[in-house]
Structure 1
Amino acid sequence: MSKFTTAAVFATLLAGTSSIAHAADTLTIASWGGAYQESQAKAYFEPFKQESGANIVTDEWSGETAKLKGMVETGTTSWDVVDVEPGHALQGCEEGWLEKLDYDSLGGKDKFIPGSALECAIGNVAFAYIFAYDASKFPNGGPQTVADIWDVKKFPGARSLRKSPKSTLELALIADGVAPTDIYKVLDTKEGVDRAFKKLDEIKPNVKVWWGAGAQPPQLLADGEVAITTAYNGRIYDAVKSSGKNFKIVWDGAALDWDMWAIPKGTSKLELAKKFVAFASQPKNLAAQTKYIPYGPSSLEASKYVDKDVLPNLPTAPENSKTSFSISAQFWADHDEELTERFNNWLAK
């Protein structure tokens, strides 16, 4: 074998080894897309890549429990870290398709806001389901209460609501006069669920789009497809700040919830996934995300790193949380699948 042939073979072997090593250091993270996932890329993905040398591959999902659960149960886990909601975290822990976290490596549970540190998931940000409108559609003043969403005479125009029972059923009950503090007391009964669906019957003819991805609501407003939509507060804020849109956020009846990092069972990158979660849970890194989207960080120490002009735009700010409520993780862990089935059947009618 000539020295040139030997060199070529050696180079090929090196390339193969490099490729294998590269694949071993690739972390696949699933999140919610749009401006939110872009903020994560800047605050977590890119800095972690620089620090660890690992490559980050991203994917999107819409929160469908069956997809994540099925992936683990069939032994086809392709996500190493997933941004989940608390209901996913409780169900995944109870049913065994999410890894339990080691809080000693994260500084202890007492370092995080109560409710954000669960056995199988750690909160990164608090966000809010709010509703928003295009101010140009309402020159005499736009809707100010949840009930106004249902008032199509006073506030004409197409609506868009989330294609999920979670947050949508709660919204319907508030529109029907239920106090935010009593929502789950009512919703935990058959009569309460029936009441919510009956209220949704009223607005259904005016809902042009049932959105699934968080990037949809601001785009629907921008395209003029709808005049009023529910949305994640950060997505509307980003459209106003980055694109100069004339959109208004209404905080009445805001539903506060957490986004959380979780590790699916069966990932072949378990140790790397743990390192990423620890990195993303550091106070300064959590605070960094608020530069790009106004969601409240989970770490108790993070607020001192948040810019003062950003604080008033967070869903946890006192002025914004006067009539808000926290989504019940336990309720949705117990009822997500049955209510999703009923909701999808209702939509199909």
Structure 2
Amino acid sequence: MSLDHNRDCIEVLIEKARGGQINRRTFLQAMGLMAAVPLAMRSGISWSADKPLVVVNWGGDALNAFRSAWTDNFSKATGIPVRIDGAGPTEGAVRSQLASGKPSWDVVDVESYSALVLGREKILQPLDYNVIKRDQVAPALASDHGIASYQFSYVMAWDSEKFGDNGPKTWADFWNVEKFPGKRTMYKWMNGMLEAALLADGVPADQLYPLDVPRALKKIDEIKPHVLSFWSSGAESQQLMIEGEVAVGAIWHTRAKLLAEDSDNRVRWSYDNGFINSSSWAVLQGNPGGSAPAMQFIQQALQPEGQLKLFELLGNGPSNSATEKLMNAEQLAANCASPENLKKQIALNAQWYADNYAGALEQYLTRLSK
């Protein structure tokens, strides 16, 4: 879920600052609104007088790296003020905005499948692809009502003190507790986990969709006794692995990278058989800041310089492949969206999630609770 991943990104940023991996200036650039926005809200300041474009993300103050990567440059280039609202654009919250008759949000950072759902409900307006250059992203990353803002992956990580260089590389390996003994950790919110179960059960990668949910849940029943925790935050997944409580984990690539660094490569990982996902920009119907500025902002946010900045701060892969021309070899190797790493991964199917998410998640959570 973007809610969890984006909150996790800010934790990563804080950890980098504590560890001296980024300097104070860079940290303050990324986190600049953390104090200012809540203070303004408590002081009763009205933003409406300035008619800002309101960009809504998932973390309260949690993705104010957006400011450094995107919104400051947009305001300088256009003169249009931007306010970042971290209320979290869940599908329900976006629906409530429109139902109120007075939406206060303009551009929202939603799950790619949510853009499909809310678009067909006519809650989002069609993107203006005369302004936004659709071909800046791969065809699968753009729809009528959403275009990818960044990408992230679910990967396998393992403890090399237990398995050396030869850790699990396939999801069948992940399920093989005889060859790779030890406790596991998996994601609580289903994304990628049903796919992992089906691959472990022998379903070919190109035949995953539509997902056979009952078959996947049956396979998860097999591994459940060996799962110490179904994590709901990246910090939890990192702690489980760094402390050696689990031998193998299905975790975000941003956390896996930190684990390798913090453990002197004791915890290892790869993009092999990982699952890549994306978040999308979308615009509410009747947005108060106007359609034209909203479309201008999205076009600006797709430019390589800003996408590289977000990658450097948070580790999210750029949606615009032109960003790769600005990357050095080390950055390319770490980029979940590089051509070489994409070849190793499987893309989560946004259309399937748009059509099936709520029902499948209910089944998944019910199964975990038994």
TM-score tier (shorter)? 0.7 to 0.9
Does the CA contact (< 8 Å) of 1:294 and 1:310 recur in 2?
Answer: no
Q: Map of 1:131-210 to 2, 5 A cutoff?
A: 131-139=156-164, 141-185=166-210, 187=211, 192-210=212-230
**Corresponding residue pairs, total:** 326
Shift of 1:155: 2.6
Task: Indicate how the Cα distance of structure 1 residues 243 and 56 shifts in structure 2: closer, same or farther if over 3 A, else same.
Answer: farther
| Counterpart residue number, 2:304 | 283
In the alignment, does 2:62 pair up with 1:54? Answer: no
Partner amino acid for 2:309?
A
Partner amino acid for 2:196?
L
In the alignment, does 2:44 pair up with 1:25? Answer: no
Partner amino acid for 2:362?
E
**Residues 51-60 or 84-93, more deviating:** 51-60
Shift of 1:321: 3.8
Q: Map of 1:210-249 to 2, 5 A cutoff?
A: 210-241=230-261, 246-249=266-269
Does the CA contact (< 8 Å) of 1:134 and 1:221 recur in 2?
Answer: yes
Does the CA contact (< 8 Å) of 2:131 and 2:296 recur in 1?
Answer: no
Does the CA contact (< 8 Å) of 1:131 and 1:251 recur in 2?
Answer: yes
Shift of 1:202: 0.8
Q: TM-score, normalised by structure 2?
A: 0.74
Helix, strand or coil at the partner of 2:138: coil
Does the CA contact (< 8 Å) of 1:48 and 1:276 recur in 2?
Answer: yes
Indicate which of 84, 100, 121 corresponds to 2:126: 100
Q: What CA distance in whole angstroms lies between the structure 1 residues aligned with 2:181 and 2:115?
A: 39
Give the root-mean-square deviation of aligned CA atoms: 3.4
Shift of 1:176: 0.9
| Counterpart residue number, 1:268 | 288
Task: Indicate how the Cα distance of structure 1 residues 53 and 111 shifts in structure 2: closer, same or farther if over 3 A, else same.
Answer: closer
Indicate which of 267, 270, 275 corresponds to 1:250: 270
Partner amino acid for 1:105?
V
Shift of 1:238: 3.9
Shift of 1:94: 0.6
Q: What CA distance in whole angstroms lies between the structure 2 residues aligned with 1:33 and 1:207?
A: 31
Q: What CA distance in whole angstroms lies between the structure 2 residues aligned with 1:313 and 1:346?
A: 34
Shift of 1:347: 2.4
Shift of 1:300: 4.4
Does the CA contact (< 8 Å) of 2:169 and 2:273 recur in 1?
Answer: no
Partner amino acid for 1:109?
R
**Residues 40-49 or 125-134, more deviating:** 40-49
Q: What CA distance in whole angstroms lies between the structure 1 residues aligned with 2:275 and 2:98?
A: 30
| Counterpart residue number, 2:33 | none
Helix, strand or coil at the partner of 2:229: strand
Partner amino acid for 1:171?
A
| Counterpart residue number, 1:13 | none
Does the CA contact (< 8 Å) of 2:259 and 2:265 recur in 1?
Answer: yes
| Counterpart residue number, 1:9 | none
| Counterpart residue number, 2:24 | none
Q: What CA distance in whole angstroms lies between the structure 1 residues aligned with 2:60 and 2:225?
A: 28
Q: What CA distance in whole angstroms lies between the structure 2 residues aligned with 1:204 and 1:328?
A: 25
Partner amino acid for 2:205?
P
Provide structure 1 residue ranges, at least 5 long, that are not aligned to the other structure. Answer: 1-15
Partner amino acid for 1:348?
S
Task: Indicate how the Cα distance of structure 1 residues 64 and 310 shifts in structure 2: closer, same or farther if over 3 A, else same.
Answer: same
Task: Indicate how the Cα distance of structure 1 residues 92 and 304 shifts in structure 2: closer, same or farther if over 3 A, else same.
Answer: same
Helix, strand or coil at the partner of 2:69: helix
Q: TM-score, normalised by structure 1?
A: 0.78
Helix, strand or coil at the partner of 1:260: strand
Shift of 1:198: 0.4
Helix, strand or coil at the partner of 2:179: coil
Indicate which of 306, 315, 322 corresponds to 1:301: 322
Partner amino acid for 1:27?
V
Does the CA contact (< 8 Å) of 1:160 and 1:228 recur in 2?
Answer: yes
Shift of 1:193: 2.1
Helix, strand or coil at the partner of 1:143: coil
Does the CA contact (< 8 Å) of 1:33 and 1:213 recur in 2?
Answer: no
Indicate which of 306, 310, 313 corresponds to 1:292: 313
Does the CA contact (< 8 Å) of 2:273 and 2:346 recur in 1?
Answer: yes
Q: What CA distance in whole angstroms lies between the structure 2 residues aligned with 1:256 and 1:33?
A: 25
